[in-house]
Structure formats: structure tokens, C-alpha cells
């Protein structure tokens, strides 16, 4: 009987629970929480379904503890989520330096939204010294990974610097990727 309740059975039960939790979450909510488009059967996504469920139930402290545990185990999606929790004060006290740490960590593994968030923190000096040069570097990295939102941020910064050619390039890129604010900004610009 002890063999029956071994690790294989526990893994099976956890997998079934993860699927049931996934069915209970709207697909858009999962995508929004993860901040990354990955197949729903991706191991990192499946691992986080319990934390996502708790997050959706507004049990932020419990969700944060799970996200943090998964992040420390190397789950890139969880690293990003921990950064968001610190940034927004969900389940933990707001701490922009810790948010930045987790965004940078997830960014090293190619998480484009984490890179964009790191850039935003530097651009606006949220808990750190304002550094537009660093912000632009993070935005560039995120754009290279396909972030239309980071392209908008870059275009906006170039516009502030009166570098209209670069501003137009990145705003067009962002607008083409579906960022309405970029399209609106392009429509009002006179080149």
C-alpha cells in the first residue's frame, strides 16, 4: 500500500488537480497573470496553476508564497510574477528593488515583459535612481524578444528626445503589434 501512494501517484494527482484548476481559470486570465504566451501544457505553466488559482481568488499572500517557491526553483514565469507582486504590493509589501531584482532575473531567461518592467522602473526612477539609458537598454532587449509594449516605450522616449526617425520606427512597430496608444500617438504626430 505504501508503494501505491509513492511519488508517481502524487505526481498524477497533482497533474489532475492542475488540469482541474486550469479549467476553472479563464484562458485570458492565465495569459494575463503569466505575462507570457506559452502553451497551457508547458511544465512551468502547469506548475503554477495552483498559485494562479489562488491569485484569481484574491488570496495574494498564499499565491505569493507559491510563486516565490516556484521562482526559487527556476520557474521563469514565477520569477516574473514575484516581480509583479513586489511591484504592486500583492501578498507582500511593495518593494521596487526586489521587484527589479526579479524582473532582471526573469529577463535573463528571455521574459520580455519582465525586461519591459525593469526598463519602466529605471525610466521613472521607481525605487532606484532614474536612468533613461538603462531603461532604453531593457526596452531594446524586450523589443528584440517581440514586446510591442516596449517598442511603444522606446518610441515615446525617442519622441521626448526629438529623435523623430527612431520615434516613428518604434511607434510604427508598436502600432503594427496592436498597441492602440502607439497608433494614437502616431496619428497626432507631425513629421
pTM above 0.85, yes or no: no
- List the domain range (segments joined by +) for residue 141: 7-146
In a domain, 74, yes or no: yes
Alpha-carbon separation of residue 152 from 100, 108, 123, 173 (angstroms): 20, 21, 13, 8
Question: The domain that contains 33 carries what CATH number?
Answer: 1.25.40.10
pLDDT digits (tens, 9 = 90+) for 19-38: 444 434 434 444 444 444 55
Q: Are 117 and 99 in contact (CB under 8 A)?
A: yes
The total domain count for the chain is 1
In a domain, 171, yes or no: no
In a domain, 170, yes or no: no
pLDDT digits (tens, 9 = 90+) for 104-114: 999 999 999 99
In a domain, 46, yes or no: yes
In a domain, 164, yes or no: no
In a domain, 186, yes or no: no
Amino acid at each position: 500500500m505504501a508503494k501505491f501512494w509513492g511519488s508517481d501517484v502524487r505526481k498524477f494527482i497533482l497533474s489532475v488537480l492542475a488540469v482541474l484548476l486550469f479549467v476553472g481559470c479563464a484562458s485570458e486570465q492565465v495569459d494575463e497573470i503569466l505575462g507570457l504566451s506559452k502553451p497551457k501544457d508547458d511544465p512551468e505553466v502547469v506548475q503554477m496553476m495552483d498559485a494562479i488559482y489562488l491569485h484569481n481568488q484574491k488570496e495574494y499572500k498564499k499565491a505569493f508564497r507559491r510563486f516565490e517557491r516556484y521562482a526559487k526553483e527556476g520557474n521563469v514565469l514565477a520569477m516574473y510574477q514575484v516581480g509583479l507582486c513586489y511591484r504592486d504590493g500583492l501578498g507582500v509589501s511593495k518593494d521596487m528593488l526586489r521587484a527589479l531584482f526579479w524582473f532582471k532575473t526573469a529577463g535573463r531567461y528571455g521574459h520580455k515583459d519582465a525586461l519591459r518592467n525593469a526598463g519602466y522602473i529605471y525610466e521613472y526612477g521607481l525605487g532606484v535612481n532614474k536612468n533613461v539609458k538603462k531603461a532604453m537598454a531593457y526596452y531594446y532587449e524586450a523589443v528584440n524578444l517581440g514586446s510591442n509594449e516596449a517598442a511603444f516605450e522606446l518610441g515615446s522616449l525617442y519622441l521626448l528626445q526629438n529623435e523623430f526617425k527612431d520615434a516613428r520606427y518604434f511607434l510604427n512597430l508598436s502600432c503594427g503589434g496592436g498597441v492602440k496608444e502607439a497608433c494614437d500617438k502616431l496619428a497626432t504626430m507631425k513629421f
